[in-house]
């Protein structure tokens, strides 16, 4: 049973460029959440996708956008990159069951460096 997978593993971009990160959820999961983890910090929630729509959003600017596909995989897009966008970007998947707790399983992350 494959867990959450993310690609690419590492990425180097320059300021002003755009980047797309990809995530495939754990088998059986239908919900994907994206988090940003700066060095020495805990992950910060960016947004969550369910049924191909953005369901919840954290305190991130519109430069951060996403998409979920019919097979539940997801993309995170960041436009007009800033130096401060350098971080580990984590994808987490879960199964949205209103009766149970929201346990999320994380992928290995994509390390983005903005120069």
The residues that touch another protein, with contacts defined as CB under 8 A, are: 4, 6, 33, 35, 40-45, 48, 55-56, 58, 88, 90, 92, 94, 96, 98, 101-109, 111
CA geometry: angle at 96 spanning 21 and 58, to 5°? 50
What's the closest the beta carbon of residue 16 comes to another protein, in angstroms?
A: 26
CA geometry: angle at 67 spanning 96 and 35, to 5°? 65
Cα dihedral sign, 57-60-66-71: negative
Residue 48: count of CB within 10 angstroms of its CB: 24
| Nearest CB to another protein, comparing residues 78 and 93 | 93
Structure-block tokens of residue 77: 């897009």
| Nearest CB to another protein, comparing residues 75 and 105 | 105
| Nearest CB to another protein, comparing residues 17 and 41 | 41
What's the closest the beta carbon of residue 68 comes to another protein, in angstroms?
A: 14
| Nearest CB to another protein, comparing residues 35 and 64 | 35
What's the closest the beta carbon of residue 41 comes to another protein, in angstroms?
A: 6
Query: With contact defined as beta carbons under 8 Å apart, do 88 and 35 qualify?
Result: no
End-to-end CA distance of the chain: 37
What's the closest the beta carbon of residue 108 comes to another protein, in angstroms?
A: 5
């Amino acid at each position: 049973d494959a867990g959450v997978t993310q690609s690419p593993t590492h990425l180097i971009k320059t300021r002003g460029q755009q980047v797309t990160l990809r995530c495939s959820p754990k088998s059986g999961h239908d919900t994907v959440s994206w988090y940003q983890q700066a060095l020495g910090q805990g992950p910060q929630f960016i947004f969550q996708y369910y049924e191909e729509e953005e369901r919840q959003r954290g305190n991130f600017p519109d430069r951060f956008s996403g998409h979920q596909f019919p097979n539940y995989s997801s993309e995170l897009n960041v436009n007009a990159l800033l130096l401060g966008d350098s971080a580990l970007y984590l994808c987490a998947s879960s199964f949205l069951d209103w009766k149970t707790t929201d346990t999320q399983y994380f992928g290995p992350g994509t390390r983005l460096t903005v120069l």
